[in-house]
Each structure stands twice: as C-alpha cells, then as structure tokens.
C-alpha cells in the first residue's frame, strides 16, 4: 500500500526530457517539440503547448448565490454560464487579477479573496495553470467594462448549479471546478 500523501517518484517512471525545440512563440503562448523517452524505452518528439501566464477564476458567493456571466466562446462555439476569469497580467498578483476580472466582467467589486486551489486543465498537452479565488462579499460599481465577454450578469442560486451542469448550460472546466468546489464545501 502506497501512502497517497507520500508516494514514490522513481527515476524509471519519469518521462525523461532530452531536449526541446521551439516551433512557435508569442507573447501569449508557444509550442515546443520535446525529445522525450518513456519508461518502456520508446523515444519520440511530443508537442508541449506553453503558456506565459496563469489564468484565474473568481468565485463570489453572497446569500447562497454565485456571481456568473453568460457568454459565447468562439473556440468550441458554445454559450455558457461562467464565473469571471482571465489571464494574470505580467507582474500582477493573482489575487488582484481575480478581483480585477470580476469587476471588469460583472461590474461588481468583490471583497477580500482567498485562494482555493490550482490545477493544470490539460496536463497532457499544455503547461497552462488555472487558479481559483473566492470572495464572500461584493458591491456593485456599475455595468461591466468588458464588452467582449459578458452578455448577461446574474447571481445564480447555488441550488440551481448542478441542474445547470446537467442541462448543458455550464460547459467549461474552470467554472465546473468552481461549482463543485463551492458545493462540496457547503
């Protein structure tokens, strides 16, 4: 029985990196081809998408309702309820980014935020990192200033969230982590 909190990390089980070449690089993301050998002995080039900055999402829960926006996503061509989220600016503290994105996308200034969790949304493909922050208070400042993301702003009752996932109205990973993290902590 392996202790789940202290498992072994043997060299023989590591995917060994022998080198890497850049195929593309921009201010936002890049693509490397990595020369890697796997534990069974095969050696090949494997793509790795690199992101320059982490993204943050903001969970704002007041009176058992979650602050959400209704928006279109160009990449999968889907509409969904999402929590406010965005990329951390260079030099910006991730907690400040979480508060900034919430204000820009919803018009609500949230109170102090606390860190919830971090994860790699797609660790077989990219090194992108998401971080989740949570606030328990908010004050309305005005309309959203970000006009390309928000179509509607709503306080969605926590009791409705699971049904919205089942109905296909919440379809993105960052919001799902926020939803389940919030409901699991209730």
User: Which run of H or of E encompasses 24?
Assistant: strand 16-25
CB of 87 to another protein, least distance (A): 8
User: Which run of H or of E encompasses 9?
Assistant: none
Nearer to another protein, 136 or 151 (CB): 151
Counting Cβ atoms within 10 Å, is residue 50 exposed (0-12), middle (13-18) or buried (19+)? middle
Nearer to another protein, 63 or 75 (CB): 75
Please list the residues that pair with 62 across neighbouring strands.
65
* Segment lying near another protein (by CB under 8 A), choices 59-67, 91-99, 102-110, 178-186: 178-186
Q: Compute and round to an integer the Cα radius of gyration of the chain.
A: 19
The answer to whether the CB of 71 falls within 8 A of the CB of 82 is yes
CB of 64 to another protein, least distance (A): 15
Does position 173 interact with another protein (CB under 8 A)? The reply is yes
Which residues from 18-77 bind another protein, rule CB under 8 A?
23-24, 26, 28-29, 31, 34, 36, 38-40, 42, 46-49, 51, 55, 71-76
- CA–CA distances in Å: residue 78 to residues 57, 66, 75, 125, 146: 19, 21, 8, 22, 19
Residues in touch with another protein (CB under 8 A): 1-2, 4-5, 7-10, 13-17, 23-24, 26, 28-29, 31, 34, 36, 38-40, 42, 46-49, 51, 55, 71-76, 78, 80, 85, 117-128, 130, 147-148, 151, 162, 165, 171-174, 176-177, 179-181, 183-184, 186
């Amino acid at each position: 029985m392996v202790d789940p909190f202290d498992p072994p990390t043997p060299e023989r089980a590591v995917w060994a990196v022998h080198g890497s070449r850049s195929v593309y690089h921009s201010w936002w993301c890049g693509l490397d081809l990595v020369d890697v050998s796997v534990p069974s002995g095969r050696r090949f080039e494997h793509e790795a998408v690199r992101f320059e900055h982490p993204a943050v999402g903001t969970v704002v829960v007041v009176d058992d309702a979650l602050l959400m926006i209704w928006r279109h996503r160009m990449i999968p061509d889907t509409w969904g309820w999402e929590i406010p989220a965005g990329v951390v600016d260079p030099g910006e503290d991730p907690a400040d980014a979480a508060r900034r994105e919430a204000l820009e996308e919803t018009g609500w200034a949230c109170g102090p935020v606390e860190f919830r969790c971090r994860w790699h949304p797609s660790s077989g493909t990219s090194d992108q990192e998401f971080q989740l922050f949570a606030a328990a208070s908010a004050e309305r400042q005005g309309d959203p200033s970000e006009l390309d993301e928000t179509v509607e702003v709503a306080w969605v009752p926590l009791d409705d969230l699971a049904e919205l996932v089942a109905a296909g109205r919440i379809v993105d990973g960052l919001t799902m982590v926020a939803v389940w993290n919030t409901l699991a902590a209730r």
